[in-house]
Amino acid sequence: MSELGGLIHRMPITYLVYLIAIISMAGIPPMAGFISKWMIFQSMVGKGMIFVATAAFFGSIGSFLYVFRPLSAVFLGQLSTKHKKLKEAPVLMIIPMIILSLATVLYGVVPNMVLKIFSGIETSIGMKGLQLAGTQISGTNGILDPTIIAIMFGFGFVIALVLFLIHPKSRKVELMDTYTASEFIWTPELLHYASNFYAPFERLYENAPDTEKWYGALIKKIEELGQFVSYSLFSYKPSTIIFYIMTMLIGLLVWGGVLWI
Amino acid sequence: MSKEIKKVEKPEKIKKGWDGISNYFRANSIWMLMYCTGCCAIELPQAMTSRYDMERLGMGPMATPRQADVILVTGYLSVKTLRRVIYAYEQMSEPKYLVAFGPCAINGGIYYDSHAVIKQLDQYLPIDIYIAGCMPKPEAVMNGFKDLIEMIKSKKATGWRKYRDNNAWYKANQIHALGEVRIKDEFHE
Amino acid sequence: MDINYILTGMLTGFGVLVFAFVWQTSLSGITRKVVGRFHKRYGPKWYQEFRDIFKAMSKRGITHGWVYDFGVMMALGGIMATVMFMPVVTFVAFGQLDNFFIYVYLFAVGMLGMAMSAVGSGNPLAGIGVMRALTQMVGYEVPFMVIVLAIIFRDGTSSLSGIAAIQQTGGILTWNLVKMPIGTIVGFICLLGMLGKKPFETFIAPAEIASGPMVEYGGKQLGMLMIMHQFATFIEISLFINLFLGGATNIVFFIIKYMIIYILASLISQAFGRFKIDQVIKYFYRWPIVLAILQAGLVVWGRIG
């Protein structure tokens, strides 16, 4: 990732699809991921499983961290000079991406279209189904209305857009004309922050016992066992083979009663 | 460069009516970029702390040129520093002001016979107000800031317009003195 | 879906928005004056923040591309939507629909928009600032969520106005401040982390990384980010008041509680230096999480408080 950067200027549609995907993965309204996270939290808190809920929340916040790193290292930042001639992905790759993004947005704004099917399945098994009323979802601890959230988000965005447009227009400057404490820098690679992105956070647990290393040690032990077996039983020296054949023959003869020991 | 100037000029002419209110806001909340080029910068912490409090005038320090309104050139300018000051001044958002401390920006000050010091800053960048003293005491600094506020309110602080309209003249002077403003290799690359 | 219901909700939300902006910006100015007196000097006037914001909006800044502008608008839009859902005394935009989880996640829209726009300006210092802000978010969210999930479990409702109404039934003795004192202290420490006050000011860090994400902003984008910062402060402190201090029955009490919390947080922040980012994480995962787990255990299993 330290060699890529600034690809948003060459592939804007891929960027938008990625952005919608990570908004949904991090569980942010108005996308579909928020609905599922909300329902999970409602059921966990309703049963009193506080620590599982905390672990789930930690995972949700952590997912925000790890999806943000590719966004900022690959798409945003400085565009390297050797990537100035890239083109957008071909149309046949873009069409499925756009269809899936539209599905995410649609099911985030009106999820009840899909949830009615699940509620029907639940009642036909005999469980108490989801309570759906119009566009609202009722959980054990509260009510959620995703359509109203989407409408208010649109309202807020419109106010921000109006505020943006009535003030003086900004002039466009290129990406390399940025704050460097007035130093003159000419290579874009020096101004791109991508490798070791979360270094302070990783420093905190780098001395902790690592399960990957433990698995690596276990694999090495199994390899050693296999090598021992293959060395002792399946070697290419004739003396070892003759030894094993003689031992087997003597054992068979003793067992058969011919040789009496 | 000239295309940029033409595009920028039109919005300013249409919205003349907002100027009075905008100047009130700009005069009463000035954010400064301390470009501490020389010795006069020692007098700035006194102006910021409790005795000669600068925050009651609405001024405060800001970290980068993009966010700042006024750039304080405190002290003498060598050839290397002038290149960086010009880069910082061009990165600032308009409207922007420049305050020069001490006599070094007028005629070289006590470094008048050095080969590496710029003698007249006015030829390279437009200056709105000079503050006298070598170095000026904090009372003089506060007086200078009050004068700057008066100038902004009465629409006399138009150095940035001068820079935009006479850009060719300023650029010619800069190249004559420095050779090249955005140099490619001084220490590296 | 009722069009009347949505329109009245939007109007009430807009009223809450205007009140939040005017009140929080004035309080910012008043706090600067109080902090100035704390330093034995005169401070600025109480309406100084308004002048700062309007001056920033009237400058002609720069732009680095469409993601730079779009991110700022997305951030401000998301935060404005969150403010419109916030219950202020009895003015709630949409009755029972103000879930606690909406606030936590819509806040993340604001942070994502600002992060996108800051890194889209092409400056590595902005990337470092955003990395620190996200790491700090991991630190303060987890103890806060443990306490709030315990409150939701005990009260049986996750609607903010519902939690506030339950606390107003018996006067001061039913506030969560009195029933769960350890939880309130942990909530206050996490509030300091959320507000970005010292010692948790790592992601702004003016002299260290040249104000972090705001390094390339000038002009109207900076003004919009300042407005967003005021709204974010309003949301966080109102959340604290509704969760732990029993909401408010009329506007005077709301203003008094708000002032006490904000000025206390500002005065505490003046007495500290700034933590490094790994010190922030180590701090939050030592005592605050232990106390939060203790309080949650008492509430859920011990049925105390």
Neighbours of C198 (CB within 10 A): 17
Residue C244 tokens, joined: 């732990």
* Residue A176, φ and ψ in degrees, nearest 5: -80, -10
The pLDDT tens digits for B140-158 are 999 999 999 999 998 888 8
Neighbours of A170 (CB within 10 A): 20
Would the CB atoms of C206 and B63 count as touching at under 8 Å? Answer: yes
Residue B100 bridge partners (DSSP)? B73, B130
Q: Chain C contacts of B8, Cβ < 8 Å?
A: 60
Q: Shortest CB distance from C41 goes to which of B53, B66, B95?
A: B53
Instruction: Determine the residue type at A43.
Output: S
**The domain defined by B35-178 carries CATH number 3.40.50.12280:** yes
Tell whether A174 is within 8 A of chain B (Cβ). Answer: no
Would the CB atoms of C127 and A77 count as touching at under 8 Å? Answer: yes
- Asked if residue C61 lies in contact with residue C218, where contact means CB atoms within 8 angstroms, the answer is yes
Which chains have 3 or more CB–CB distances shorter than 8 Å to chain A? Answer: B, C
Q: Which of A44, A42, A56 is nearest to A131 (CA)?
A: A42
Give the N- to C-terminal CA distance of chain B in Å, as an integer: 26
Q: Is the pLDDT of residue A134 over 60?
A: yes
Among all residues of chain C, which has the CA nearest to that of B55?
C44
pLDDT, residue C256, reads: 94
Give me the residues of B, 16-75, that contact C with CB < 8 A: 18, 22, 25-26, 28-29, 49-51, 53, 55-58, 62-64, 66-67, 69
pLDDT confidence bin for C211, thresholds 50/70/90: confident
Q: In three state form, how does the secondary structure of B18-72 look?
A: HHHHHHHHHHHCCEEEEECCCHHHHHHHHHHCCCCCCHHHCCEECCCCCCCCEEE
Q: Give the distance, in angstroms, between the CA of residue A191 and the centroid of all CA atoms in the same chain.
A: 27
* ipTM of this complex: 0.90
For an interface test with B, the pick among C33, C47, C59, C203 (most B C-beta atoms closer than 10 Å) comes out as: C59
Rounded Cα–Cα distance for residues C213 and C225 (Å)? 10
The pLDDT tens digits for B157-186 are 888 999 999 999 999 999 998 888 888 766
Residue A60 tokens, joined: 């949700």
pLDDT, residue A16, reads: 92
Q: Is the pLDDT of residue A261 over 70?
A: no
Instruction: Determine the residue type at C293.
Output: I
* Residue B52, φ and ψ in degrees, nearest 5: -115, 65
Would the CB atoms of B183 and A168 count as touching at under 8 Å? Answer: no
What are the helix (H) ranges across chain B?
A: 2-14, 19-28, 44-48, 79-91, 104-107, 138-153, 159-165, 167-178
Q: What percent of chain A has pLDDT over 70?
A: 98
Q: Is the pLDDT of residue C230 over 90?
A: yes
Residue A186 distance to chain B (closest CA, Å)? 8
State which of A26-35, A64-73, A220-229, C156-165 shows the largest mean pLDDT. A220-229
pLDDT, residue C186, reads: 94
State which of A52-61, B73-82, C22-31 shows the largest mean pLDDT. C22-31
Tell whether B58 is within 8 A of chain A (Cβ). Answer: no
Would the CB atoms of B66 and C215 count as touching at under 8 Å? Answer: yes
pLDDT, residue B8, reads: 43
Q: Where are the beta strands (DSSP E) in C15-72?
A: 62-63
pLDDT, residue B11, reads: 42
pLDDT, residue B147, reads: 93
pLDDT, averaged across chain C: 89
Q: Is the pLDDT of residue C56 over 80?
A: yes
Would the CB atoms of C131 and A71 count as touching at under 8 Å? Answer: no
**Reported pTM:** 0.89
pLDDT, residue B3, reads: 42
Rounded Cα–Cα distance for residues C75 and C108 (Å)? 9
Tell whether B189 is within 8 A of chain A (Cβ). Answer: yes
| A45-54, B168-177, C7-16: least confidently modelled range | A45-54
Which chains have 3 or more CB–CB distances shorter than 8 Å to chain B? Answer: A, C
Residue count (chain C): 305
Pairs of residues, one from chain A and one from chain C, whose beta carbons lie less than 8 Å apart: 237
Q: Is the pLDDT of residue B189 over 70?
A: no
Tell whether A166 is within 8 A of chain B (Cβ). Answer: no
The residue extents of the domains of chain C are 3-300
Q: Shortest CB distance from A65 goes to which of C62, C105, C138?
A: C138
Q: Chain B contacts of C54, Cβ < 8 Å?
A: 25
pLDDT, residue B186, reads: 65
Neighbours of C89 (CB within 10 A): 15
Neighbours of A236 (CB within 10 A): 6
Q: Is C27 helix (H, G, I), strand (E, B) or coil?
A: helix
The residue extents of the domains of chain B are 35-178
Handedness of CA B52, B54, B56, B57 (dihedral sign): positive
The pLDDT tens digits for A188-217 are 888 888 888 888 888 888 888 888 889 999
Q: Which of C125, C70, C129, C67 is nearest to A192 (CA)?
A: C125
Would the CB atoms of A170 and C219 count as touching at under 8 Å? Answer: yes
Q: Shortest CB distance from A171 goes to which of B8, B66, B189?
A: B8
The pLDDT tens digits for B2-34 are 444 444 444 444 455 667 788 889 899 999 987
Would the CB atoms of C149 and A53 count as touching at under 8 Å? Answer: yes
The pLDDT tens digits for C118-153 are 998 888 888 889 999 888 988 899 999 999 989 988
Would the CB atoms of A201 and C109 count as touching at under 8 Å? Answer: no
Tell whether B36 is within 8 A of chain A (Cβ). Answer: no
Instruction: Determine the residue type at B45.
Output: P
The pLDDT tens digits for C248-305 are 888 999 999 999 999 999 999 998 888 888 889 999 999 999 999 999 988 888 877 6
Residue entry with tokens 């994502």: C112
Q: Shortest CB distance from B189 goes to which of A168, A179, A187?
A: A187
Residue B71 bridge partners (DSSP)? B33, B98
Neighbours of A38 (CB within 10 A): 22
Q: What is the dihedral of CA C192, C217, B25, B33, to 10 degrees?
A: 90
Higher-confidence residue: B117 or C206? B117
Q: Is the pLDDT of residue B1 over 80?
A: no
Q: Is A180 helix (H, G, I), strand (E, B) or coil?
A: coil
Q: Is the pLDDT of residue A31 over 50?
A: yes
pLDDT, residue B13, reads: 44
Instruction: Determine the residue type at C214.
Output: M
Would the CB atoms of A186 and B65 count as touching at under 8 Å? Answer: no
| C49-53, C111-115, C203-207: least confidently modelled range | C203-207
Higher-confidence residue: B22 or C20? C20
pLDDT, residue B16, reads: 56
Among all residues of chain A, which has the CA nearest to that of C303?
A48
Q: Shortest CB distance from B84 goes to which of A169, A182, A185?
A: A182
Among all residues of chain A, which has the CA nearest to that of B67?
A179
Long-range contacts formed by B122-125: CB under 8 A, 24+ apart: B123/B170, B123/B173, B123/B177, B124/B82, B124/B86, B124/B170, B124/B173, B124/B174, B124/B177, B125/B73, B125/B85, B125/B86, B125/B89, B125/B98, B125/B163, B125/B170
| B17-31, B76-90, C32-46: least confidently modelled range | B17-31
Rounded Cα–Cα distance for residues A59 and A53 (Å)? 10
Q: Is A196 helix (H, G, I), strand (E, B) or coil?
A: coil
pLDDT, residue A186, reads: 84
H helix or E strand, kind and range, residue A72: none
Residue C32 distance to chain B (closest CA, Å)? 9
pLDDT, residue A1, reads: 73
pLDDT, residue B17, reads: 62
pLDDT, residue B5, reads: 44
Tell whether B98 is within 8 A of chain C (Cβ). Answer: no
| A47-61, B4-18, C47-61, C277-291: least confidently modelled range | B4-18
